[in-house]
Structure 1
Amino acid sequence: MVSFKNLCLSALALQCVASSSLFARDEQNPLKSTILPGEEPVPGDSPVAICDASQKQLLTIDLVDIVPNPPARGANLTVAAVGHLHELVEEGAYVDVDVRYGYIKLISQTYDLCDEVGEVDLKCPLKPGEYKLSKTVEIPNEVPPGKYVVYARAFTKDDKYLACITATVVFDVDSWKILGIGRD
């Protein structure tokens, strides 16, 4: 699950920090996601969307690409992102991250944003302007099949809304069957 946290924090760090099949409505496969009301897809080839899109956010995500898309177990995942920060971000900024596996909440934690941006070679204070980043993380082989939904909401030290991003990733059961894991 650290990989999903890093994915979200990398995208947020970009502005401070689609595979269309992941966002397409697929009534025959309940594991496939849809864009929910209040969300807007982010340009690029990724399952990332802006959540709470109707609310003013101090960060604008211009592009997020991930390779491979969709992410694969046991493979490196590279995230490349471009965005614009509209106000200074100083020490004390934070990000609330929730990761769900179906209806089960795996992670619900608050992180110091300035500590986390070091993972993408940035440091606070983050000045207004354009940011570009690229980060590679490993997706463990042991990730169980299913639907994972990540929400990351970032705030300044004064509780101004920096950004809200969400990503939905589906790891299919079929890839586990190929490995001889699970039921036939």
Structure 2
Amino acid sequence: MFGALKYSAWFTALFVLISANALIWKSPPQATCKLDSCGTSNDKVKDVHVTYSPHPPQVNKNVTIFFSGNLVEEVDKGEMSFKVTFNSYEVDRTLNLCHVLADANLTCPLHPGPFKFAYTVPVPPIVPRGKYGAVANATDENQNALFCLKGLCSVY
């Protein structure tokens, strides 16, 4: 959920970039993660529920993010912005919402009502220990908030 599968390369680039400054241990890293909605009552997607599997994510394996909610009005287009942090490093990216959702087999326009999707992304083979944060905000064509998701992982 923190990026489209074809855009996961920039997540990988972040990990590679910071691995030169990170301490990598010989034993596989362990992780604790939390993924939540950070939206408000004004968001156009209500009843947001987000989970992921496996718990915890594993190095060099896929993690699938499951998202569900109830869209209250039609959305023709929009943007999805991502912010990923690792210790003092930060990467921001804004993408076309319809392109991101197309990778999860959803098409624009999005019609009102309940919806759900699953999104799978690879976890890189090398994950430096530290604290990772991510925020994903989706807005419609008028910059009205659709939803917000935030995640925090501690890799130790």
Is 2:74 the counterpart of 1:88? Answer: yes
Q: Structure 2 stretches of 5 or more lacking a match? A: 8-30
Distance in 2 between the 1:170 and 1:133 partners?
Answer: 26
Q: CA deviation at 1:61?
A: 4.4
2:16 is aligned to none
Give the structure 1 partner of residue 61 of structure 2. 75
**1:71–1:169 CA contact under 8 A, matched in 2:** no
* TM-score between the two structures when normalised by the length of structure 1: 0.64
The alignment of Structure 1 onto Structure 2 pairs a total of residues equal to: 132
The percent of aligned pairs where both chains have the same amino acid is 27
Q: Cα distance, 1:153 vs. partner?
A: 1.3
- Higher strand content, 1 or 2: 2
What residue in structure 1 maps to residue 27 of structure 2? none
Counterpart position of 1:103:
88
Tell which has more relative contact order, 1 or 2 (C-alpha 8 A, sep 6+). 2
Aligned 1:3-42 pairs, distance under 5 A: 4-6=2-4
Which amino acid in 2 is paired with 1:80?
A: F
Kindly report the root-mean-square deviation, in angstroms, between the aligned alpha carbons of the 2 structures: 2.4
Q: Match for 1:119 among 99, 103, 116?
A: 103
Q: Which amino acid aligns with 1:5?
A: G
Residue identity opposite 2:105 in structure 1: D
Q: Does 1:160 align with 2:144?
A: yes
Question: 1:86, CA displacement in angstroms?
Answer: 1.1
Matched, 1:64 2:50: yes
Which SS does the other structure have where 2:76 is aligned?
coil
- The ranges of structure 1 where at least 4 consecutive aligned residues each deviate by more than 3 angstroms after the TM superposition are none
* Structure 1 runs not aligned, ≥5 long: 10-31, 34-45, 173-184
CA contact (8 A) 2:37 2:49 kept: no
Normalising by structure 2, we get a TM-score of 0.75
State the match for 2:34 in structure 1. 47
